[in-house]
Amino acid sequence: MKKVLYIKANIKPEGQSRTFKLSDTFMEEYKKLNPQDQVTVLDLYKENIDFLRAEDLGAVFGPKTEDSKNHPILKYAYQFAEADKIVLAAPMWNLGMPAIVKAYFDYVTVTGITFGYTANGPAGLAKAEKAIVISGRGGNYSTPPMDALEMGERYAKTIFNFFGIKDVESLTAEMLDVKEIDTEKMLNDAIEKAKIAAKNF
């Protein structure tokens, strides 16, 4: 049995997020193929993930004990570190991702839990063998010259690598706000790709 952490980040009401149409399809297909796996859904907005405060720093940078796993912030780092697979679903917002995703990564980037320092530099401690970043985008940010402006998926992949997760792939639905094309077809094509991607995850 594998532990799968499904992280969701979109403020839109249920059923309106195109990113979630893509990611939920991916997860539904994955669960059909892997019914024995344990899937935990973490909706960052429902969790009320916030920015780190000065009073939080002692727990984040201080010594860790068995009780640390129940800390309101550190519990997210332990949850992330113990997952076998990570699914991150977040739309492209303003060339990146929603700010709550960065706030969440600030929660889980904890020395001694998700990474550690060695004589040769930082080393990832996350258990996960693979991760996937799923995103909906208004335009085409996968090819030059616009790919240079894409900062969300790039950041997520970089920090996953930092945590020690080397197998990180992406699944995107692009050009969803371009009025001159059939955006519904673009989304449906991406949804079909999601079903295929789930078979190899």
- Measured CA to CA in angstroms, residue 29 lies from 88, 122, 137, 157 at distances of 16, 36, 22, 23
108-132 residue pLDDT tens? 999 999 999 999 999 999 999 999 9
Segment among 2-6, 64-68, 196-200 with least mean pLDDT: 64-68
SS3 131: strand
Q: Parallel, antiparallel, or unpaired for β 130-136 and 167-173?
A: parallel
Q: Over the stretch 167-188, which tens digit does the pLDDT of each residue have?
A: 999 999 988 889 888 888 888 8
Given a cut of 90, is residue 141 above it in pLDDT? Answer: yes
What's the pTM? Answer: 0.95
Domains of the chain: 3-199 (3.40.50.360)
The pLDDT, as a whole number, for residue 198 is 95
- How does residue 65 score in pLDDT terms, banded at 50, 70 and 90? confident
pLDDT range class, residue 102, cuts 50, 70, 90: very high
Beta bridge partners of 39: 4
Residues 6+ apart with CB under 8 A from 96: 102, 151, 152, 155
Q: Considering only CA atoms, which of 86, 84, 79, 83 is closest in space to residue 26?
A: 86
